[in-house]
A and B are shown apart, each in its own frame.
Chain A
Amino acid sequence: MTPTGTPSPSPLAAFQDAFAAALAVPEGAGGGGLPGHPDLAGLVAQPGFAVYRNTVMKGCVDALQANYPSIAGLVGEAWFRAAAVVHARAHPPLRPTLLDYGAGFAEFLAAFEPARELPYLPDVARLDRCWTEAHVARDEVPVAAAMLARLEPADLARTVLRPHASARWAWFDDQPIRSIWQRSREVAQGEAVAGDVNADLRWCGEGVLIVRPEAAVRWVPLQRADCAFLDVCAAGGTLAAAAGAALAVDAQADLSALIARLLDAGAFGQLELSTDQFQEPP
């Protein structure tokens, strides 16, 4: 049992406090300032200490690069790895499951001064993060179009389509984030050859759905109405409510084509009938 309010850590804990603090000091930043553990100066002075410092940093940077291949492709490996070092110092991994590391990298990039001239980077990073989340999400059989077709017409309006466990979507008002992300990701995955990322880009708003209905993560372009529709579905709203939201952002939206497009992409995981609303009179 550890007494509560222990004033000083045990010798092992003190060693780990000092070792962890020394690891966080960049090489060549000077040997002073290691907190409260005189023995550690003798360790940091040995050439072997750099092996630990380098391995820890390489582990963080490699994991971030694996999780953000589109960003690494856009900015180049050297820039990416330098930024990843700054990120790792401020946001070290919290858990040993590094597949999940770097959840806040988009926010980091948004505040990262050297990235200011690339205003699309944070949103592209958000899509890499969506890909990771879709990749490791729980497995779920997607709702097939035939299931919807079998519903009584009277039940359609009170049907609730829950987004698939792996589904992530986003709408970007001003920049073709999906096109930039897709090109960079395809180059990173060896599915396209590198070229000028700006070639043929139309600078307008874009949306995207990233989803893993079966084994592989896929992505499909979305309209603004599709995203509004999915937002309502995610909140548990009925098809009638989702359709209303879609029409509110785009009065010209073709609702049957919209639903067919999303079903075909595997965007939904559950089909339920709402009992809260649209109750038929007895």
Chain B
Amino acid sequence: MTTGLSAGLGLKPRHYEEAFAAPADGLWFEVHPENYMVDGGPRLAWLETIRSRHPLSLHGVGMSLAAAAEPDPDHLRRLAGLVDRVLPALVSEHLAWSSWRGAYRPDLLPFPRTREALQRVVDNVDRVQRALRRQIAIENPSHYLRIDGHEFDEIAFLTELARRSGCRLLLDVNNVFVSARNLGFAPEAYIDAFPAHLIAEVHLAGHSPDPALGKALLIDSHDAPVAPAVWSLYERLIARAGPRPTLIERDDNLPSFAALQLERRRAVAVLRAPGREAA
């Protein structure tokens, strides 16, 4: 692992003081840069304060890389400004679209993985990496729909994207589990086939059953602890790929900072298991 990062936590305003005070110990924090694209004020001040003690990761949700359009230049400029300001250890985005023809939809929307889409995402990742003057990592999203017209499976698409744009990948193990359940594939096969040498970061999060349909449809809700089945997939991944910076994501139904630290320590234990070394 080249970054020296162990397991990290999503940073929430309610936990700023405890996050700052937490022992460094390989701990790092991830935020959505969209929440810090402001001119000033306490949020930005807290982010810089925490950055003075812990490495940061900027995990974007709004670049809309898979839209059939260039990234919004203003959004890209603001991201570059934040990157220059906090010098994050990692920068990442999603294989999805959200902004389209002047409106933003707060979700990570799917698309047919065609050659046209691949070229578009390659071009957009290239634009972002040039503007930031650094490599970014692209995350596999959760899937809820069977879409006709895919010309690539997701791993082939991501691998080709990395080869052509020079980006790396963020493997969200919970998204693999959720997508596998919803679309009916084996999550172990996906985890085993994912190109280990391209993984810059791993995400772990909780999911929940759809309120109406129950376990037939899992939602990537980030409102619960990481599920046992997702921990098993994670252990399987790390045993094969070696340690990678790993984030515990939690956005809703937020527990205490101490409870998140406990989950994080479980990831640290997996990363430190005997015989593990960087791939």
Residue B35, interface by CB 8 Å: yes
Residue A9, interface by CB 8 Å: yes
- Complex-state Cα separation, A98 to B216, whole angstroms: 31
Interface string of A11-22 (1 = CB under 8 A from B): 111011101100
Whether A48 pairs with B182 at a CB distance below 8 angstroms is: yes
Q: Give me the interface of A with B, judged by CB distance under 8 Å.
A: 9-13, 15-17, 19-20, 23, 39, 42-43, 46-49, 51-52, 55-56, 59-60, 63, 92-99, 135-140, 165-166, 212, 215-216
- Complex-state Cα separation, A16 to B117, whole angstroms: 11
Residue B116, interface by CB 8 Å: yes
- Complex-state Cα separation, A10 to B106, whole angstroms: 24
- Complex-state Cα separation, A168 to B106, whole angstroms: 29
Whether B99 pairs with A96 at a CB distance below 8 angstroms is: yes
Whether A96 pairs with B104 at a CB distance below 8 angstroms is: yes
Closest to B143 in A: A48
Chain A residues positioned under 8 Å from B117 (CB to CB): 12
Residue B146, interface by CB 8 Å: yes
Chain A residues positioned under 8 Å from B99 (CB to CB): 95-96
Whether A20 pairs with B101 at a CB distance below 8 angstroms is: yes
Whether A99 pairs with B35 at a CB distance below 8 angstroms is: yes
Number of interface residues of B (CB under 8 A): 54
Chain A residues positioned under 8 Å from B148 (CB to CB): 39, 42
| Residue of B41, B97, B110 with most partner-chain A CB within 10 A | B41
Chain A residues positioned under 8 Å from B216 (CB to CB): 47
Whether B75 pairs with A212 at a CB distance below 8 angstroms is: no
Chain B residues positioned under 8 Å from A20 (CB to CB): 100-101, 103, 105
Interface string of B79-102 (1 = CB under 8 A from A): 000000000000000000111111
Whether A51 pairs with B106 at a CB distance below 8 angstroms is: no
Q: Which 7 A-B pairs give the minimum distances between C-beta atoms?
A: A96-B62, A59-B106, A48-B144, A139-B40, A136-B38, A13-B68, A138-B39
Given contacts A16-B67, A137-B41, A165-B39, 12 further A-B contacts (CB under 8 A): A9-B68, A12-B68, A12-B114, A47-B217, A49-B144, A92-B103, A93-B106, A97-B35, A135-B43, A137-B40, A138-B39, A139-B45
CB distance from B154 to the nearest CB of A (A): 16
Chain B residues positioned under 8 Å from A216 (CB to CB): 42
| Residue of B39, B67, B68 with most partner-chain A CB within 10 A | B68
- Complex-state Cα separation, A216 to B46, whole angstroms: 12
CB distance from B101 to the nearest CB of A (A): 7
Contact of B42 among A47, A51, A56, A135 (CB under 8 A): A135
Residue B34, interface by CB 8 Å: yes
Residue B24, interface by CB 8 Å: no
Whether A138 pairs with B37 at a CB distance below 8 angstroms is: no
User: Provided the pairs A9-B68, A16-B68, A39-B148 are in contact, do residues A97 and B106 lie with their beta carbons within 8 angstroms?
Assistant: no
Interface string of B199-234 (1 = CB under 8 A from A): 000000000001011001101000000000000000
- Complex-state Cα separation, A10 to B100, whole angstroms: 14
User: Provided the pairs A48-B144, A136-B38 are in contact, do residues A94 and B104 lie with their beta carbons within 8 angstroms?
Assistant: yes
Whether A51 pairs with B217 at a CB distance below 8 angstroms is: yes
- Complex-state Cα separation, A47 to B145, whole angstroms: 8
- Complex-state Cα separation, A63 to B217, whole angstroms: 25
Whether B145 pairs with A46 at a CB distance below 8 angstroms is: yes
User: Provided the pairs A47-B217, A48-B145 are in contact, do residues A95 and B72 lie with their beta carbons within 8 angstroms?
Assistant: yes
